[in-house]
Homo-oligomer: A and B are copies of this chain.
Amino acid sequence: MTGSRPSDLAGAIDALFTFLRIPSISSDPERRGDCIRASDWVARAFEETGLDVERIATDGAPIISGADVRGRPRRLLFYAHYDVQPPDPLAEWRSPPFEPTRVRGEDGDRIVARGASDDKGQLVAVLAGLRAWRRERGEFPADILFVSEGEEEVGSPGLQGLIAREPERFRADAAVIADCECFARGVPAIFYGLRGLAYIEVEVIGPRSDLHSGTYGGAVDNPANVLAAMLAACRDAEGRIAIPGFYDSVRPIDGDERARIAAVPFDEEAFRADAGVPALRGETGYTTLERRWARPTLDVNGLTAGFQGKGAKTVLPARASAKLSARLVPDQDPDEIAALLEGFFRDIAPAAVEVRATRHPGAKPVFIQTTGPAIDAARRAAVAVYGREPLFVRNGATIPIVEVFHNRAKTPCVPTGFALPDDRIHSPNEKLDVECLEQGIAWTMEYLSAFADL
């Protein structure tokens, strides 16, 4: 195993702390300036690594490309994003989300902040690996293109568009997508399937303003009751999504894959305990891993209606709204599913209310190749760093850009990562183990090394 030097690790932690202090929340228009600051940070860090920087404007935050391209026989692309999820609910953070805190305790040595794991920590790991290579080994063994965007958490619209317009710019022998995680501590993974996403907001609009529930209740329909009924109609008692046509394009899990999934060393009880729920629950007829990886979902991400303060208010709300997203599996299409959802709500809406739906950016589900040099190098790097072969598994999450790299740029993707499943990404108290940062630095050097030997 190539060990990172203490100085590499200390430098990477310092850099990461500075990076984590920038609240680059891409979904919040008021954080636009912070996203720009984060892109500036990435551009400077690329420069300091000896890469030629290009800033590519989008409608949102810019894409930062760092290149060392000299016509070598092979080209390696690395991808990580610099935007983060909102930190809500703020009250549950034990330290402020944008004041990174190093916590050393019985649980290990961790960096706690929004983005520590997803994805600033992994971006810094790859970057520190590239720097360490330059310092220790000199020239890169292949042309390098490091692509970082600031719109991953809002569906990567800018980068998706750019790849669709200029696919050749992103053509490479491998694209390391450093936005995933290990399967478990010490168990590296390569994700051969990722779920897609369709996301809509549904608003039920009733009276002109909030009404007195005594004077109007019973005669004027209640948008919050209507919304609840419409959301409930989306799912049946077996946990199946009850929207006609929803499963039409779902590729069934074949027997071979069921067996492979069943053989994964998954500790269901530990998963349940980590989630903190009394019991797991999902679609009848599927195991927990199948539900997470190979079946689509429809989750309410947010509900808003009426009076939300302390105490009682007897109000019949003027409107009620839900944020609602479906995780998709091959071969579902996000636009088709969003249209299905919108049509379903329009069809079942009572005449006593108005229903409006708006769409957020979606993403296609994807399967990638599981053989070839890009994957072989990742296996070698994993064995060198973790002392074992990586697991080939699916992932329930969505990284929109994988599908686009894979299908548009025709670049073999390696969706992998150095983080851990218990990092609480998208949740309060997100963390990254310092050991994971170190492993990421080492993995990046090993990955380059594997290409040097080819």
Contacts and interface: CB of A to CB of B under 8 A. Distances in A.
A323 B155 CA distance: 34
A292 B215 contact: yes
A199 interface: yes
A112 interface: no
Contact of A302 (B27, B297, B317): B317
Interface residues of A, number: 99
A263 B290 CA distance: 63
A208 interface: yes
Given A299-B316, A303-B303, A306-B300, A280 B219 contact: yes
Contacts of A426: 210-213, 313-315
A218 B295 contact: yes
Nearest to A305: B303
B395 A214 contact: yes
Interface string A79-110: 00000011011001000000000000000000
Contact of A325 (B211, B276, B309, B312): B312
Interface in A264-317: 271, 275-283, 288-289, 291-292, 295-317
B312 A306 contact: no
A317 B295 CA distance: 20
Instruction: Describe A's contact surface by its main secondary structure.
Output: loop
A315 to B, nearest CB: 5
A428 interface: yes
A429 B209 contact: yes
Interface in A385-442: 395-398, 421, 424-429
B395 A292 contact: no
A29 interface: yes
A351 B291 contact: no
B225 A228 contact: no
A262 interface: no
Contact of A301 (B154, B218, B277, B312): B312
Interface in A328-369: 350-354, 360-361
28 contacts: A199-B312, A199-B314, A207-B277, A208-B275, A208-B276, A211-B275, A211-B426, A213-B325, A215-B292, A215-B395, A215-B421, A218-B283, A218-B296, A218-B297, A219-B271, A220-B280, A222-B299, A224-B231, A225-B231, A228-B228, A228-B231, A228-B303, A281-B350, A301-B306, A301-B307, A301-B313, A301-B316, A312-B323
Given A218-B292, A222-B300, A228-B303, 19 more contacts: A85-B313, A85-B315, A195-B214, A209-B428, A210-B426, A211-B426, A215-B395, A217-B292, A218-B396, A225-B231, A225-B298, A232-B233, A278-B352, A300-B317, A301-B307, A301-B313, A301-B314, A302-B307, A302-B308
Interface of A: 27-29, 85-86, 88-89, 92, 154-155, 195, 197, 199, 206-222, 224-225, 227-229, 231-233, 235, 271, 275-283, 288-289, 291-292, 295-317, 320, 322-323, 325, 327, 350-354, 360-361, 395-398, 421, 424-429
